[in-house]
Amino acid sequence: MKWRYFKQAVFFTVVRLSALVISLTLLGILAYIFFNGYRAITWDFLTLPPTDSMTRGWIMPAIVGTFYLTIGAISVALPLGIVSATYLSEYAKQGPFIRIIRIGVNCLAGVPSVVFGLFGLGFFVVFLKFGSSILAGSLTLGILILPTIIGASEEALKGVPQTFREASLALGVSKWQTIYRIVLPSALPGIMTGSILGIGRAAGETAPIMFTAAAFFTAILPKSIFDEVMALPYHIYVLATAGTYIEQTRPLQYGTVLVLVALVLGIDLIAIVIRSAMRRKKRW
């Protein structure tokens, strides 16, 4: 009897410790970035382009670039992902063909991001002649986050009670109308979760945009989707490895990281607020 309680105590301790370690690691990273980076954050830092060979590197173009690329990636991946997930979970007859597609999607999720970068370079930049541009970068990032969105959307669709579908179909509502009016709206909060993860990933990746969209330096803002842009992750990479004055720019690097993290968390926060508002409305 006592032995059982002892085992339980040990097990609970391990579980609590794991949770603690993970939360502390995350907090530690965030705190580290914050204390190293906050001094770099000034109004000018956020609103002006870099100058003096990046040593007084201000980052406004990179913020704008990352924003465009992320929005672009989401607008590519979200519709495509939702449609694919809808097909996989609502229309397709389960069988070997569907299993192969699923395995393909999962493999896509495991492909290193630099491979997406090379694919983007080969296909969008060179073959389709988009050049290094917002368009090429957004499409590349979009493909990168597609598996995340498909996976989350499929889970969300599976989570919609079968009784909703039956209720709608039994009223003489067609399958497409049922999916469009009942199933997808009910699955939307879950799909949002997927897109939140996607946004974070798209905003933070360096390798896929290195060859497809990111410029080392542009003083002006992009005018069309065929322009190159600076992007925060690539800018960090440049400052930390390729610049001429790596040591001098250290505070700027942390400042840029802080901005990137804040941007991602900010976008996440908006999505989380929207999601929970939708959840509150649709309780079952």
For other proteins, the binding residues (CB under 8 A) are: 93-94, 161, 163-174, 177, 181-182, 186, 281-284
Contacts of 124 (CB under 8 A, 6+ apart): 130, 135, 136, 139, 140, 212
Calpha distance 118→265 (Å, rounded): 28
- Please report how close the Cβ of residue 86 comes to other proteins at its closest, in angstroms: 16
CB closer to other proteins, 39 vs 175? 175
Closest distance of CB 99 from other proteins, Å: 15
For other proteins, give the closer residue by CB, 2 or 283: 283
Least separation in angstroms between residue 101's CB and other proteins is 17
Residue number, 93 or 129, with CB nearest to other proteins: 93
Q: Write out the E strands in the chain.
A: none
Structure tokens belonging to residue 31 = 């705190």
Is the CB of 2 or the CB of 280 nearer to other proteins?
A: 280
Nearest of 248, 232, 249, 254 to residue 41 by alpha carbon: 254
Beta partners for residue 214, in sequence order: 229
| Closest distance to other proteins from the beta carbon of 56 (Å) | 55
Nearer to other proteins, 112 or 161 (CB): 161
Tokens standing for 133?
């541009």
Q: How far is the CB of 282 from other proteins (least distance, A)?
A: 4
CA 156, CA 166: separation in Å to the nearest integer?
A: 17
| Cα dist from 110 to 102, 105, 115, 148, 235, whole Å | 13, 9, 11, 10, 25
Count of CB atoms situated within 10 Å of the CB of 203:
24
